[in-house]
């Protein structure tokens, strides 16, 4: 009997210790969670003033796709990651080359030869470990674009060619998700926000791609300006604040430090979006 009592007592003791252990672990987890919350609040403190906790949560729950980790992609990825977007999927088929380094600020000299998406992921995760960075070392084509974009709720256009841009345009139309278009040339750049069924799509604006002969001149800072505006548009869209560049194209003229605004309309004969009721 005494042995049974001892066994019971021991069981109770073990159970008790196990309960205490579980409480201790729960306490540790709670403290860790509070620590993370404090860090998060500290990290985003300056934008929480504007966004509030609800706004920051919207960013944290967002899943977005960034097409390209080059000039525009580098700048936009840095700011999107810093802002605390929950999941960022990046697709780029290129490797880092020396001629990229005047403008592709996510990549450093020692990254020459490395796949851009790998180089990008390394830096972005160091910038903000809270953000989930998914990478695809693939080119974007008509055939794979829907799969690559997946369940992303928006697309950031950081491409360097119109063929891929048109593929993204059609994907955005099919999935009914916004496309944040940007492009650069030297000291100049263009930005517009495309909302399927509401605004001119990329094909409405540019029915045909430019001839594309020769290398495109690009000043690094131009990428910064254009990408920053694209990121502003993304944040405004996710936060449901401000006015987007809907049916408006901003043209940045860096040489003269001017911004022009160009009004746009849908093309009723657009081969991509069908145009709705409006004309270009």
Partner 1 sequence: MSPLRVRVKLFASFRELVGASEVEVELNAEDTLRDVLLKVFEGACDKIFEDASAKKLRDYVVVLRNRRHVQDIFTKLEDGDEISIFPPASGG
Lookup: tokens for 164: 């891929």
Which CB sits closer to partner 1, 186 or 242? 186
Least Å from the CB of residue 187 to partner 1: 10
In angstroms, the Cα distances linking 275 to 36, 196, 270 are 48, 10, 5
CB 140 within 8 A of CB 148: yes
Q: Quick one: which of 73, 178, 224, 275 contacts partner 1 (CB under 8 A)?
A: 73
Q: Quick one: which of 57, 185, 259, 271 contacts partner 1 (CB under 8 A)?
A: 185
Lookup: tokens for 42: 């500290």
Helices (H), 136-244: 145-149, 162-175, 202-205, 220-239
In angstroms, the Cα distances linking 180 to 29, 71, 115, 145, 172 are 39, 15, 24, 16, 10
Least Å from the CB of residue 260 to partner 1: 7
Assess 141 for contact with partner 1 (CB under 8 A): no
Q: Quick one: which of 40, 115, 265, 274 contacts partner 1 (CB under 8 A)?
A: 265
Stretch that binds partner 1, among 44-52, 139-147, 238-246, 253-261 (CB under 8 A): 253-261
User: Binding string to partner 1 for residues 143 to 182, with x set by CB under 8 A, is what?
Assistant: --------------xxxxxx--x----------------x
Assess 97 for contact with partner 1 (CB under 8 A): no
Rg of the chain over Cα atoms, rounded to whole angstroms, equals 24
Which phi and psi angles does 108 have, rounded to 5°?
Answer: -110, 175
- Site for partner 1, rule CB under 8 A: 68, 70-73, 157-162, 165, 182-186, 188-190, 205-212, 216-218, 223, 251, 253, 255-256, 260-265, 280
């Amino acid at each position: 009997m005494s042995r049974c009592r001892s066994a019971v007592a021991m069981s109770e003791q073990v159970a008790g210790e196990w309960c205490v252990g579980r409480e201790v672990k729960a306490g540790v987890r709670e403290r860790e969670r509070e620590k993370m919350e404090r860090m998060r609040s500290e990290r985003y403190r300056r934008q929480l003033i504007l966004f509030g906790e609800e706004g920051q949560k919207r960013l944290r729950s967002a899943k977005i796709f960034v097409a390209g980790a080059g000039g525009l992609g580098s700048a936009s990825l840095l700011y999107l990651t810093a802002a605390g977007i929950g999941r960022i999927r990046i697709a780029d088929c290129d490797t880092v080359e020396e001629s990229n380094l005047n403008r592709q600020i996510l990549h450093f000299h020692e990254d020459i030869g490395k796949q851009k998406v790998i180089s990008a992921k390394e830096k972005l995760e160091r910038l903000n470990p809270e953000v989930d960075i998914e990478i695809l070392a693939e080119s974007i084509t008509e055939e794979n674009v829907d799969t690559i974009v997946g369940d992303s709720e928006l697309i950031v256009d950081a491409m360097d060619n119109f063929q891929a841009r048109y593929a993204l345009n059609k994907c955005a139309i099919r999935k009914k998700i916004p496309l944040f278009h940007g492009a650069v040339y030297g000291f100049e750049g263009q930005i517009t926000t495309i909302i399927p069924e509401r605004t001119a799509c990329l094909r409405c604006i540019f029915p045909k791609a430019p001839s594309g002969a020769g290398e495109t001149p690009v000043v690094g800072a131009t990428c910064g300006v254009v990408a920053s505006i694209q990121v502003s548009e993304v944040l405004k869209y996710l936060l449901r604040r401000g006015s987007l560049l809907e049916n408006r194209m901003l043209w940045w003229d860096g040489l003269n430090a001017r911004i022009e605004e160009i009004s746009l309309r849908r093309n009723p004969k657009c081969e991509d979006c069908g145009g709705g009721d409006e004309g270009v």
